[in-house]
Structure 1
Amino acid sequence: MAGLAEIARAAGVSVSTVSRVLNRRPGIKEETRQRVLEVVNQMPHTARGVGALRRTGVIGLLVPELSNPVFPAFAEALESRASLAGYATLLCNTRAAITEKEHVQMLVARGVEGMIFVSPEIANPDNDERRSRNYYEKLRAEGVRMVFVNGGAPTLDVPDITVDEHLAGYTATRHLLELGHRRIGFVSGPARALPSRLKRAGWAAALEEAGVEPEPALVAHAPFGARGGAEAVGELLDGPRPTAVLCSSDVMALGAMREARRRGLATPDDLSVVGFDDIPLAAYCQPALTTLAQPIHDMAAAAVDELARQLDPDKPGAATRFSRMFRPTLIVRESTAAPGA
Structure 2
Amino acid sequence: MAGLSEIASAAGVSVSTVSRVLNRRAGVNHETRQRVLAALAELPHTSRGVAALGRTGVVGLLVPELSNPVFPAFAEALETRAARAGFSCVLCNTRSSEPDSLGEEQYVGMLLARGVTGMIFVSPGIANVSPARRTARSAYYHQLVNDGVRVVFVNGGVPSADIPDVAVDEQLAGYLATRHLLDLGHRHIGFVSGPARSLPSRLKHAGWATALEEEGLAARPALVSHAPYGAGGGARALGELLDREPVTAVICSSDHMALGAIRECHRRGVSVPDQLSVIGFDDSPLADYCTPPLTTLAQPIAEMARAAVEELAARLDPDAGAQPVGAHTRIFRPRLVVRESTAPLR
Instruction: Pick the TM interval, shorter chain.
Output: over 0.9
Residue 138 of structure 2 corresponds to residue 133 of structure 1: yes
Which of 95, 113, 119 is residue 123 of structure 2 equivalent to? 119
Matched residue SS, 2:273: coil
Structure 2 CA distance for aligned equivalents of residues 180 and 333 of structure 1: 17
Q: Report the Cα distance in structure 1 between the residues aligned to 2:53 and 2:34, rounded to whole angstroms.
A: 25
Cα 1:47/1:194, change in 2 over 3 Å:
closer
Q: 1:144: which partner in 2?
A: 149
8 Å contact kept, 2:48–2:113: no
Percent identity, aligned pairs only, is: 67
Pairwise CA distance, 1:280: 1.0
C-alpha separation in 1, matches of 2:27 and 2:54: 30
Instruction: Rate the CA distance shift 1:264–1:145 in 2: closer, same or farther, 3 A.
Output: same
TM-superposed deviation, 1:287 = 0.5
Contact 1:63 1:118 (8 Å CA) reproduced = yes
- Aligned CA RMSD, in angstroms, stands at 2.0
Tell me which residue corresponds to 2:56: 56
One-letter code aligned to 1:222? A
CA distance in 1, matches of 2:48, 2:193: 45
Equivalences for residues 296-311 of structure 1 within 5 A:
296-311=301-316
Pairing partner for 2:331 from 314, 325, 330: 325
- What displacement does 1:46 show? 4.3
Q: How far is 1:50 from its partner?
A: 4.2
The alignment partner of 1:211 has SS state of coil
In structure 2, relative to structure 1, the CA distance for the partners of 1:20 and 1:334 (3 Å cut) is same
Match of 2:234 among 224, 229, 235: 229
Moved more, 3-12 or 286-295: 3-12
Aligned to 1:78: 78
In 2: Cα distance, 1:5 partner to 1:302 partner: 36
Aligned residue for 1:184? 189
Residues 233 and 256, structure 1, Cα contact 8 Å, conserved in 2: yes
CA contact (8 A) 1:50 1:110 kept: no
Secondary structure of 2:309's aligned partner: helix
Instruction: Structure 1 unaligned segments of length 5 or more: list them.
Output: none
Could you say which residue in structure 2 is the equivalent of 1:94?
Answer: 94
2-structure distance, mates of 1:256, 1:307: 37
Aligned length: 340
Could you tell me which of 210, 215, 236 is aligned with 2:215? 210
Q: Relative to 1, partners in 2 of residues 1:44 and 1:101: Cα closer, same or farther, differing over 3 Å?
A: closer
In the other structure, the counterpart of 2:261 is 256
CA distance in 2 between counterparts of 1:41 and 1:246 reads: 38
Distance 1:231 1:47, change over 3 A: closer
TM-score (norm 2): 0.92
Does the 8 Å contact 1:169/1:203 carry over to 2? yes
- Alpha carbons of 1:12 and 1:229: their partners in 2 closer, same or farther (altered >3 Å)? closer
1:159 alignment partner in structure 2: 164
Q: Which residue of 2 aligns with 1:245?
A: 250
Q: Residue 108 of structure 1 corresponds to which residue in structure 2?
A: 112
Residue 141 of structure 1: how far off its partner (Å): 1.2
Using the TM superposition, give the Cα deviation of residue 163 of structure 1 relative to its aligned residue in structure 2, in angstroms.
Answer: 0.6
For residues 60 and 272 of structure 2, what CA distance do their matches in structure 1 show? 41
Partner Cα separation in structure 1 for residue 147 and residue 33 of structure 2: 23
Moved more, 253-262 or 85-94: 253-262
C-alpha change, 1:158 and 1:339, in structure 2 (3 Å) is same
How far off its partner does 1:143 sit? 1.0
Shift of 1:196: 1.2
Relative to structure 1, the CA distance from residue 50 to residue 41 in structure 2 (aligned partners, 3 Å threshold; closer, same or farther) is farther
Q: 2:6 & 2:21 partners in 1: Cα distance?
A: 15
Misfit runs of 4+, over 6 Å: none
- 2:20 matched to which residue of 1? 20
Asked if structure 1 preserves the Cα contact closer than 8 Å seen for 2:54 and 2:118, the reply is no
What is the deviation of 1:217? 1.5
Moved more, 100-109 or 226-235: 226-235
Q: Tell me the TM-score normalized by structure 1.
A: 0.93
Q: Distance in 2 between matches of 1:215 and 1:42?
A: 44
User: Quick one: distance in 2 between partners of 1:11 and 1:190?
Assistant: 35
> Aligned partners of 2:293, 2:175: CA distance in 1, in Å?
21
Per-residue CA shift, 1:198-233, capped at 9, x if unaligned?
Answer: 111111111111222222221111111111111111
Structure 2 counterpart of 1:197: 202
- What do the CA deviations read for 1:84-108 (whole angstroms, capped 9, x no partner)? 0000000000012121111111000
